[in-house]
Structure 1
């Protein structure tokens, strides 16, 4: 059987599939070559994608022999789940395989905001020794607000607790006795407005849906503390980017760390690149060596399970 991989995948996962007898064809740029992808996909039993490949009805109609789709990550906004279900094609995300890496990214962002060592290094190399300017802040006793209280937020909370932070969370789908509340020390709040007004750092951990699109915007940025930062390692489009720029320029908030953007890669003329206190990274929160290996191996094993007549424990449809 044949498997087509259209985006970056760690080699150990592909080797796992080859050792099981599969033919694996790999082109990490294929997601950007739509016509070629449409021509190739009919010949494959399985498709493995990341976040750039649009798995829509057009692609699914072309994928006449595809029996399963693997997603190297957890976001599913690029995959038409309804269309997959109608065609009886299971979709398998790499559930929790990169959760630790994303949690550590959030911690790195908060540490960078409170102690900007790279900026201090650059300033010293220019011949300066400005100790007062680089006097930082402690994370201890600061409040971290988590929008969404799933597995990644759970791991962020555990790490923040070690730093002595107060952790609050907003998630209308989390019950009082769920693990993230009972075991991670997160104090649930009733409304998003309450979370924004209390937090020194706000970290986003929800999927992009109709209800979360532009969840943070010019209506609620003014509720935040002027020294607060927003961290988005979830999905672009949850923050209204123009409103964010305005909020930073008006000093309603101190800044933001954006690992995801509404349009990726970043546009050359994007105003986001002009604002120093908005820090950008190229969708790498879950992109550590360890996470990529876990993700690739999980998807390889679950794809093999489905192609051999089994059911994946990670399947969402």
Structure 2
């Protein structure tokens, strides 16, 4: 149980280099960035492994400047009432451009051709003749008129699908959990696969944009390859563990898979035939890093100043327009009568409720209540204590 008041000055700590455009979001009147702090109010991180990091008792939020949160102990954060944010969509355009560039380059054998040409450097005046003689080995295929299967139609997948249509490809998509926002942004010309097996069977190229879960781990395996077209090209810019590497090596060797393009090389993948290994460059652009930093910082700032939550991976999203009234926020167990007990604490001090929201996520819930009355600082400690005594409260703040 950890009930706290909002400090007048919030300390932000970064565990990686965060773009200056993101840090500028934190105004100096109410925020200070101190990377030496042992007990910050919030942490902004990129890929730093936080699983062995000790959390101070003031820590309220961690923001990942990126989509994946495997480097953050999310379950531990939930148990301690620390909200974890990510930045979905902030790097979507960067990854989309890399997917399409790799799709084109791999289809035309550009990577192998460029690498071969560099070996001719010592041939001097013979280079032109050798190029003309050797280029036949790199004859590729045009993507126009071919079918691209897109697995996962979130921020990245939808952009890839739409732009592939503009390259005159036929596009088929599969995503049983597609959001309303994505559906609005997705071209009506993207065909819908009713099953992933249908997508496997109809695609000449397959690109995957789904998170790593127990259901998606190893989804590209011998069974999947047996359904696909002979010589299919597979692109993975999501997570390396989506691919069963033993099965992929066999499929590449016998030609079931024509080419494997991955942003996640390792010792095993580097040995595979017909594999294009990219050094995790999907989101590595100046613009992407800035977009992620700004989005992460804004989410932390809004949460610390208003309690509103958007793009959390462990708390429910919840927002009330902030009017400057005193606001109580509580993260608690999702059990009966929690809201009733919290509001009962208000009645002790004859406080009226101006607005309220309660959202749940799994075994936990988040409640925000705006107080209609003008209240003095003398009332706050008693109200804090009342809320703190409620069984099931994990963290609470008065803003």
- Bin of the TM-score, shorter chain as denominator length: 0.7 to 0.9
Partners of 1:207 and 1:63 in 2: CA distance: 30
Would the alpha carbon gap of residues 182 and 121 (structure 1) be closer, same or farther in structure 2, given more than 3 Å must change? Answer: closer
**Conserved in 2, the CA contact under 8 Å of 1:232 and 1:257?**
yes
Query: Per-residue CA shift, 1:201-256, capped at 9, x if unaligned?
Result: 11111101111111111222122223211111111211112221121112110121
Partners of 1:172 and 1:202 in 2: CA distance: 17
Structure 2: 5+ residue stretches without partners: 1-9, 121-126, 316-399
Q: Secondary structure at the match of 1:108?
A: helix
Are residues 1:210 and 2:214 paired? yes
Aligned residues: 294
Would the alpha carbon gap of residues 213 and 54 (structure 1) be closer, same or farther in structure 2, given more than 3 Å must change? Answer: farther
Structure 2 counterpart of 1:123, from 116, 124, 130: 116
Query: Per-residue CA shift, 1:82-114, capped at 9, x if unaligned?
Result: 432332222111121101111111101111112
- Which residues of 2 match residues 108-147 of structure 1 at below 5 A? 108-125=101-118, 126=120, 127=127, 128=130, 129=132, 130-147=134-151
Structure 2 counterpart of 1:68, from 57, 61, 80: 61
- Greater CA deviation, 121-130 or 178-187? 178-187
The TM-score with structure 1 as length reference comes to 0.83
Counterpart of 2:305 in structure 1 is 308
**Conserved in 1, the CA contact under 8 Å of 2:13 and 2:40?**
yes
Q: Secondary structure at the match of 1:283?
A: coil
Query: Per-residue CA shift, 1:131-186, capped at 9, x if unaligned?
Result: 42232211111111111121211100111011111111122223899616863522
The TM-score with structure 2 as length reference comes to 0.67
Query: RMSD of the TM alignment (CA)?
Result: 2.5
Would the alpha carbon gap of residues 155 and 175 (structure 1) be closer, same or farther in structure 2, given more than 3 Å must change? Answer: closer
Structure 2 counterpart of 1:53, from 44, 49, 52: 49
**Conserved in 1, the CA contact under 8 Å of 2:237 and 2:264?**
yes
- Greater CA deviation, 118-127 or 200-209? 118-127
Structure 2 counterpart of 1:163, from 142, 164, 167: 167
Q: Which has the larger radius of gyration?
A: 2
Counterpart of 2:95 in structure 1 is 102
Would the alpha carbon gap of residues 52 and 237 (structure 1) be closer, same or farther in structure 2, given more than 3 Å must change? Answer: farther
Q: Secondary structure at the match of 2:26?
A: helix
Name whichever structure is richer in strand by fraction. Answer: 2
Partners of 2:188 and 2:48 in 1: CA distance: 33
